[in-house]
């Protein structure tokens, strides 16, 4: 199973925003942190907003934030929403023209494997990706400073 770059970028945007719950982020800063084209990210972000994962505010002081707590964003749901085609082979797609469809057991086997893949992803949320022991490593890899909740509490 291979996810598209589009879905990969979608998950990366959610991770970045999850690391910055204290402020709005721009597409520019996300694209620079990952070294990804802003144009690509704009399309991804538009769909993340349309799917209800991200809130977008325009204008001065605007930017992007998660629309839900990380624990409510299920990885399997994001993959389903962002992947344009979960048909692994031709017989699993709408435009199936394979001459052995119906006589071949491969479609059933691959459907079962895809479903198992998604069942596993359904067990995880964005919060699992952002668990406390990983936040420092993720933020360092992205070159951002994440505010420690204890720092905020102690003023």
pLDDT of residue 18: 93
| Containing structural domain, residue 15 | 5-148
Mean pLDDT of the chain: 86
In the chain, how many domains are there?
Answer: 1
Give the helix/strand (H/E) hosting 66.
Answer: strand 63-66
Question: What angle (nearest 5°) sits at the alpha carbon of residue 131, between those of residues 127 and 135?
Answer: 115
Q: Whole-prediction pTM value?
A: 0.85
Residue 65 lies in a domain: yes
Helix, strand, coil % in the chain, rounded to nearest 5 = 55, 5, 35
Question: What pLDDT score does 109 carry?
Answer: 84
**Would the CA dihedral through 133, 136, 142, 144 be positive or negative?**
positive
Residue 21 counted as domain residue: yes
Asked if residue 17 is part of any domain, the answer here is yes
Checking if the pLDDT of 149 tops 60, the result is no
pLDDT digits (tens, 9 = 90+) for 22-58: 889 999 999 999 999 999 999 999 999 999 999 999 9
Query: SS3 for 54?
Result: strand
Residue 45 lies in a domain: yes
- Residue 120 domain-assigned? yes
Tell me if 153 is assigned to some domain: no
CATH for 25: 1.10.10.10
Per the domain annotation, does 154 fall within a domain? no
């Amino acid at each position: 199973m291979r996810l598209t770059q589009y879905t990969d970028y979608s998950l990366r945007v959610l991770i970045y925003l999850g690391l910055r719950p204290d402020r709005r982020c721009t597409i520019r800063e996300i694209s620079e942190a990952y070294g990804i084209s802003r144009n690509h990210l704009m399309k991804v972000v538009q769909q993340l907003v349309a799917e209800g994962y991200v809130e977008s505010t325009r204008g001065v002081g605007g930017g992007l934030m998660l629309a839900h707590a990380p624990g409510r964003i299920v990885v399997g749901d994001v993959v389903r929403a962002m992947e344009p085609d979960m048909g692994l082979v031709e017989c699993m797609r709408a435009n199936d023209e394979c001459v052995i469809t119906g006589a071949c057991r491969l479609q059933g086997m691959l459907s079962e494997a895809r479903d198992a893949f998604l069942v596993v992803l359904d067990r995880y949320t964005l919060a699992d990706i952002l668990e406390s022991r990983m936040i420092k490593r993720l933020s360092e890899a992205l070159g951002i400073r994440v505010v420690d909740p204890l720092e905020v509490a102690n003023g």
